[in-house]
Structure 1
Amino acid sequence: MMNPTRGIKSRRTRPAKDPLSREIIVQTAYELLKKQGIQGISMRRVAKELDTGPSSLYVYVKNFQELCAFVLDYGLGQLVLPTSAEGSWKERLFDALDAYLMLLFEQPGLAELSLTTIPMGTNSLRLIEFILSALYEGGVSSKAAAWGADLFLFYVSSTAFEHVSWKQDGNDHMSVIKQSFQMVNPVHYPLIASLKEELFSGDTEAKERFRWGLEVILQGILKTRH
């Protein structure tokens, strides 16, 4: 006989899941990226984190490459760009690229994504638009500005990726490389031997060498205005 006072238990053993959306998928992938680096994100791992199957994600993102593009763009939402009142066009350009570098330093997974992913989204477009606007203000032609923006972004991404990959490895690669250069045979490598100090000069904390690289790229762009 049924007991009328007995409570009926739901078969549900846990709270209802939030409905899937592209925003939730991207945010989940970004959190995995922060914790585990680029190796930590895949369609399968994101799906597992969301307690669903990988096929469910393809309703919202076409493929893994598109997911990476959206994750990169989500990370770039933290980027603070200079205002139009902050210095000359060149100062604003360099400050923006410096801010981009620091963001990639702070979020190591983003550095690799920035090298391997085609930008997609409003935050990526905002950064590119800022660079193009600064170059236009400096009198750079359309083609030189377009190609120059790509060169600037690649330089920043590669600099950041080298920095974070060495840091993650845990080994002091720079000291090892510097020591090997210090020991070169001056007879066989006279220029390396004579420039062994200059080859490793440049204040890393002040980003002196990084800013020098920006200046070299900019001057090359300004000399090829066509």
Structure 2
Amino acid sequence: MNNSNRRIISRRSRPAKEPLSRELIVKTAYELLNEQGLEDMSMRKVAKALDTGPASLYVYVNNFQELSAYVLDYGLGQMVYPDSVNGTWKEQLFDRLHTYFLLLFEKPGLAEISLSTIPQGTNFLQLTEHLLAALHEGGIKSTSAAWGVDLLLLYVSSVAYEKVTWKKHGSSQISDIKKTFHDADKTRFPFIHSLREEMFAGDTVSMERFRWGIEVILYGIQQEVN
């Protein structure tokens, strides 16, 4: 049957796709990470979201590890640094690390990525520069500052990932863990038994335990000022 009313749509009339670029790939991967989690930020799924083949992505990023590094740096671009220029160097340092923690906690996939890769881009350089400036003001310089920044960022990433994991699995898992420590045999585990309440103490809202960890790291760094 001849259908003269059939409308033929030319390929030229379709909306043009945005040209593929590293920036577009990273942005798309970041959006997938936020919407579906790290397990869905694969090269294949990023390519599918961009309506292209996985092989075309490798023109712009060498591998998934490099993509993750760019995605983490892109995420760091969402940080809004607190205005604490009038505070002490410790207050400035804590405020910036706390801001970093909140980003990782609110964007769960970033917390996991932060433990396995070093970001590539100016946003990570900016965060590092802020931290080094605060340490410099506190009299911590040279190797102690360089190694100290690495240790502080690793600490924040690990705490954020732990909190994200507990949030993901719900309060029941936390209760089970607490019960295991609380019910520990005082004869076999006398120290655990005596500290069973303190093991899980620390106000989450005020970040008391989080701040204490930073203070401990800073104390160690300050013992080797050079």
Q: Return the TM-score normalized by structure 2.
A: 0.92
Structure 1: how far apart are the matches of 2:74 and 2:184? 46
Once residues 31 and 148 of structure 2 are traced to their aligned partners in structure 1, the CA distance between those partners, rounded to angstroms, is 32
Deviations 1:24-45 (A, max 9, x none): 1111000100112111111111
Distance in 1 between residues matched to 2:195 and 2:149, nearest whole Å: 32
Deviation sequence 1:163-220 (CA, Å, 0-9, x none):
1112112352221111111111212222211111111111112111000000000111
Q: Matched residues in 2 for 1:11 and 1:195: separation? A: 70
Q: For residue 138 of structure 1, what is the aligned residue in structure 2?
A: 138
Give the match for residue 190 of structure 2: 190
Q: Which runs of 5+ in 2 are unaligned?
A: 1-5
Name the SS of the counterpart of 1:103 in structure 2: helix
Whether 1:222 and 2:197 are equivalent positions in the alignment is no
CA distance in 2, matches of 1:42, 1:13: 31
Question: Could you give the per-residue CA deviations for residues 71-130 of structure 1, whole angstroms, max 9, x where no partner exists?
Answer: 001100111223462301110000100110011110000000111111210101111111
Aligned positions of 1:69-218 closer than 5 A: 69-83=69-83, 85-170=85-170, 172-218=172-218
Give yes or no for contact 2:84–2:95 (8 Å, CA) kept in 1. Answer: no
**Separation in structure 2 between the aligned mates of residue 132 and residue 30 of structure 1, nearest angstrom:** 27
Cα distance in 1 for residues equivalent to 2:17 and 2:152: 43
Give CA-to-partner distance per residue, 1:128-163, whole Å, 9 cap, x none: 111111111111121000000000000000000111
- Percent identity between matched residues is 62
* AA matched with 2:206: A
Root-mean-square deviation (Å): 1.9
Whichever residue aligns with residue 175 of structure 1, its letter is S
Match of 1:17 in 2: 17
CA contact (8 A) 2:84 2:91 kept: no
- Number of positions where the alignment pairs a residue of Structure 1 with one of Structure 2: 222
Change (3 A) 1:186 1:18: same
- Identify unmatched segments of 5+ residues in structure 1: 1-5
The CA distance in 1 between the partners of 2:194 and 2:77, in whole Å, is 45
The residue number in structure 2 matching 1:37 is: 37
Contact 1:37/1:109, CA 8 A, preserved across alignment: yes
Query: What does residue 3 of structure 1 align with?
Result: none
Tell me how far apart the structure 2 counterparts of residues 163 and 72 of structure 1 sit (CA, whole Å). 18
Work out the CA distance in 1 between the residues paired with 2:194 and 2:125: 45
Quote the Cα distance in structure 2 between the aligned partners of 1:193 and 1:81: 42
Q: Distance in 2 between matches of 1:7 and 1:33?
A: 39
Provide runs of 4+ in structure 1 moved above 3 Å.
Answer: 6-9, 11-14
Distance 1:118 1:180 in 2: 35
What displacement does 1:66 show? Answer: 1.3
